[in-house]
Chain A
Amino acid sequence: MDSVQHTTTTGVDNRKMAMWIVIASECMLFGSLIINYIVQAARVMKLEGIGVIKPSQIINVPITSASTFVLLMSSVAMVFCLKGAREGNVKSFRTWSFLTAGLGAIFLGFQVYEFTVFYLEGLGMTTNTFGSAFFTLTGTHGAHVLVGVVILLTAGIWSFYKPLDKDKHSPVIETIGLYWHFVDVIWILIFTLVYLFVLAPK
């Protein structure tokens, strides 16, 4: 019995099943972080006074739109990475896995830039509850992207040393892809709830 034809009572590859369970639990994690952000941001929006940094004053939608576009395109690259693995085309798999990781790294670059600008403008992790909620939410998401980038780079580099077996390895790449797409869909929600909603006309 090799690593592909393992015993399963669910009819689904165990690794894929495990990843979907992780994704379901991550939905709950990010759900709680997003609602926490909304509550804290709404409270800060109602505050008056000199020195109160409000979300609508500090959030830069054009920059974040660019990073959102980059992350969306990384999902497309991930799809072609999996397609390459399924076809046993190591060159295609390697190219798309590095491209996906590269786009993820660019997204992280945007996030580092944004965090730096916010910090220089006076909003830090401990400035107020809005700052804490914002950095916790976007930082947790960024950490997930970083993990995905490391996994994709590892898979790409690994393909230089081991032959790609489409039957044996494509389920593993599919599991990595599920994780990457999930990181993308969570950002889709964060982008709307955290960045676009604060620009609502008053």
Chain B
Amino acid sequence: MAHATSSDAEHKHTAKQYIQIAVILAAITLFEVIYPYATNSIVALHGFYYPLLGILSLVKFFLVVNFYMHLRDDVLLIKQIFFSGLIVAVCLYVALYFLFRIFI
């Protein structure tokens, strides 16, 4: 029984789209590097430090997973496998966070 090794949707991504994603990733990384130094002088930004950097990190994570690893174009089974591992990792994180009640 023959099966396609990758979905047709994967092939629809153009080089231009890949470059656009790369530019977005680079821009977010640049912002992440500047932001810690900027917050030191702007007290109003202190409260946003962890949430903002956490969200930006997740944005980069899912951009790579969805567009470069083509997860969004893949079959449901692949998504289930990936997210099962990710959910276990997040649960471990949350459990140990509450166990030690500690954060940087």
Contacts and interface: CB of A to CB of B under 8 A. Distances in A.
Interface of A: 4-5, 7-8, 10-13, 16-17, 20-21, 23-28, 30-32, 34-35, 38-39, 41-43, 45, 55, 61-62, 65, 68-69, 72-73, 75-76, 78-80, 83, 86, 170-171, 174, 177-178, 181-182, 184-185, 188-189, 191-193, 196-201
A10 to B, nearest CB: 6
B7 to A, nearest CB: 10
B6 A79 contact: no
Nearest to B102: A42
Interface of B: 1-3, 5-6, 11, 15, 18-19, 21-22, 25-26, 29, 32-33, 35-37, 39-40, 43, 46, 49-50, 53-54, 56-57, 60-61, 64-65, 68-69, 74-75, 77-78, 81-82, 84-86, 88-90, 92-93, 96-97, 100, 102-104
A35 B81 contact: no
A200 B36 contact: yes
A2 to B, nearest CB: 10
B3 A11 contact: yes
B64 A188 contact: yes
A85 to B, nearest CB: 11
**Cβ-closest 6 pairs across A and B:** A31-B89, A24-B85, A27-B85, A192-B57, A171-B5, A199-B36
A17 B57 contact: no
Contacts of B2: 4-5
A200 B92 contact: no
Contacts of B100: 39, 42
5 contacts: A27-B86, A80-B18, A177-B68, A181-B68, A188-B57
